[in-house]
Amino acid sequence: MNEVQIIGTGSYAPLNIMTNHQLSELVDTSDEWIVSMTGIKERHISQGENTSDLATKAALEALKDANVKAEDIDLIIVASTSPDQFVPATACLVQGNIGAVNAMAFDVSAACTGFIFALNIAIQFLKTGERTRALIIGAEVLSKIVDWTDRNTCILFGDGAGAAILEAGTKKGIISINSASQGQKARFLTCPTVDVKNTFAKGNKDFKSTISMDGKEIFKFAVKIIASSINRILKENNYTLDDIKYVVCHQANARIIDLVVRRLKADKNKFFVNLERYGNTSAASIAIAMDEMNKKKLLKAGDKIILVGFGGGLTYGASLIEWTINK
Ligand code: ACO
C-alpha cells in the first residue's frame, strides 16, 4: 500500500465582499447580532462566477503550489452543495478548464463535510496504486441557493473554493481519516433541487430550491460531533492535543468552535479561524483555511494538524495529517 501526502494547496474567493451592514439593508438584522451570534463580519459573494469558475482558479493555484502539470493529475474530485449543473459534474468542467486530460473526474455531495469526504475517497485510490496524483476541491457558490429573505440563513453563507493536490508515494502525510453520515437527521439541513412535476405528479406550489436549516439542531450536532471526532482520531493514533499544531474545523460559527475548545479544555489558539472574513463556505471552508495557513507559512514540515468537518446529510469526518510541504 502507498502512503499519501498533500503536496500543494490553492484557494479563490470572488472579489466582491458583502458586509453585515449590507445584509442589514436586505433583512432585519444587524452587524452586532451577526458578529455576536456567529463571529462572521463579511463574506465573498459571486457577481456571476459559477462554482466551476471558482474551483478552476483554486485548482490552478494548487497545481502551481505543488509544481505539478495538469496532465499529471489522474483523479479530480469536486465536493460541492452548489454545482453548476446536474450534468456534467463540476469536476469535469474543471478538468476541461485546466486541461487535465488524463484524469477521471467526478463530484461528491456531502455538504460542509464534502472536502473531508473527497479526501477520504482520493486516499483510497492513491493508497491502492489505482491513481497517482489527485486534485481535490471544495467549491461553492452558495449565494445562488440562499434565500435572501430568510435572516436565519442568508447571514451565514459565503462563496469560495479551496483545493489540494495529493500524491501517492512512500512518505506518510495522511496519518488517519474517517468519515460518516447520519441520514436519519437529513431533515435538519436541506436544499431541494427541482420539484417532481410531470403528467402524473402535480408538484408543490411552495417548492423552493433554497437552503433551510434547523440552526439549533445543527449547532448541537456540530459541537458534539466535532469534539468526539477530534477525541476519536487522537485516541486511535495515540496522540493528544499537545501533539497537534492546529485544528481546522469547518468554519460555520465561532461560537461552535469556542464551545468545542471549552469541551476539550483546549488552547483556543490551536483552532484556526478565518470565518470572520468568509462566512460559511460549506465544502470549501476547510480547504480555504488550509490554504491560508500554507500561504501564511503557519505550518512547517512535520507539524501535525487535524481537519474536522460536519454538515448537511448529516455528515461528519476528520483527518489527522502530518504536514509535508516545505516552504
Ligand atoms: N438577525 C437578528 N435576529 C435574528 C437573526 C438575524 N440574522 N436570525 C434570528 N434572529 C432572532 C430570532 O428571530 C430569534 O428572535 P426571538 O427570540 O425574538 O424569536 C433570536 O434571534 C434567536 O434566534 P435563534 O434562531 O433561536 O438563534 P440561535 O441561537 O439558534 O442562533 C444561528 C442562530 C446563529 C443560526 C445558530 O443556530 C447556528 O449557528 N447554528 C448552526 C448553523 C450552522 O452551522 N449551519 C451550517 C451547517 S453546515 C452545512 O452543511 C451548510
Question: Could you read off the pLDDT of 51-89 as tens digits, one per residue?
Answer: 999 999 999 999 999 999 999 999 999 999 999 999 999
Residue indicated by cell numbers 434547523:
214
- Nearest CA owner, ligand 1 atom 30: 216
Q: Has 44 been annotated as catalytic?
A: no
Nearest CA to ligand 1 atom 49: 311
The continuous run of DSSP H or E covering 136 comes out as strand 133-140
The sign one gets for the Cα dihedral 48, 50, 56, 58 is: positive
Catalytic residue among 50, 92, 112, 249: 112
Quote the DSSP letter at residue 313.
T
What is the number of alpha carbons within 13 Å of residue 214 lying toward its C-beta?
A: 10
Q: What are phi and psi of 203, to 5 degrees?
A: 85, 170
For the record, the C-alpha cell of 250 comes out as 469547518
250 catalytic? Reply is: yes
Q: Domains along the chain?
A: 3-171 (3.40.47.10), 176-322 (3.40.47.10)
Whether the Cβ atoms of residue 149 and residue 173 lie closer than 8 Å to each other: no
8 Å CB contact between 283 and 115: yes
> Tens digits of per-residue pLDDT, 163-222?
999 999 998 999 999 999 999 999 999 999 999 999 999 989 889 999 999 999 999 999
CA of 258 to the centre of ligand 1 (A): 16
| Number of Cα atoms under 13 Å in the Cβ half of residue 46 | 24
pLDDT tens, position by position, 143-155: 999 999 999 999 9
Rg, C-alpha atoms of the chain: 19
Residue ID of nearest Cα to ligand 1 atom 12: 152
> pTM (2 decimals)?
0.96
The pLDDT confidence band at residue 235, using thresholds 50, 70 and 90, is very high
219 lines ligand 1 (CB under 6 A): yes
Q: Ligand 1, residue 282: give the atom nearest the CA.
A: 51
Alpha helices for 237-316 (secondary structure H): 254-263, 275-278, 285-295
